[in-house]
Amino acid sequence: MEKGRIMGIAYNIIPVKDVKKSGEWFVRHFGFNIRNDRGNNLSLFRENRPIMVLIESDNDSRAVFEVNGRTRWVITFFTDDIELLHKKLASEGVAVRDISDEGIYGKFFVFEDLDGNLFDVWENKDCELIF
């Protein structure tokens, strides 16, 4: 592999109102582990892989944007069993939208965190993601 190139995404930064409360929420619902707790920001990992950094925002910032009047997310997670994850999150009171089957593009659903940040979840049996 050629050196001096982008190799992937290291992590994503998400604005939240309360870092501790949000961190506990992500740990409880997704099994992330907390590292590098710096008071007003902390890192969420999946095993030894960094996923996100939660940072307390000074205002009502959200990690969303709009296209044609529709609010969109900035992060898509992937899963190996979208129905099971969707059912689990819904039973835990997480705000989840219906699963959408996009055929060859896979299945998707959107969920909302405590602060109104939206996240997409994707399952595609024909796409292998390697880390």
CA angle 127, 11, 68 (to 5 degrees): 70
Q: Is residue 108 part of a domain?
A: yes
pLDDT at 7: 78
In which domain, by residue range, is 50 found?
Answer: 12-123
Please report whether residue 61 resides in a domain.
Answer: yes
- Does a structural domain hold residue 58? yes
3-state secondary structure 16-33: ECCHHHHHHHHHHHHCCE
- DSSP letter for 61, please: -
Instruction: With respect to residue 129, please indicate whether it lies within any of the assigned structural domains.
Output: no
pTM: 0.88
- How many domains, in total, are found in the chain? 1
- The string of pLDDT tens digits covering residues 66-115 is 999 999 999 999 999 999 999 999 999 999 999 999 999 999 999 999 99
Q: Is residue 110 part of a domain?
A: yes
- Looking at the domain assignment, is residue 1 inside a domain? no
Tell me if 2 is assigned to some domain.
no
Number of helices (H), then strands (E), belonging to the chain: the values are: 2, 11
107: CATH: 3.10.180.10
Q: Is 109 exposed, middle or buried (0-12, 13-18, 19+ CB in 10 A)?
A: buried
Task: Give a yes or no: residue 71 inside a domain.
Answer: yes
Rounded to an integer, what distance in angstroms lies between the CA atom of residue 13 and that of residue 32? 15
Q: Is the pLDDT of residue 61 over 80?
A: yes
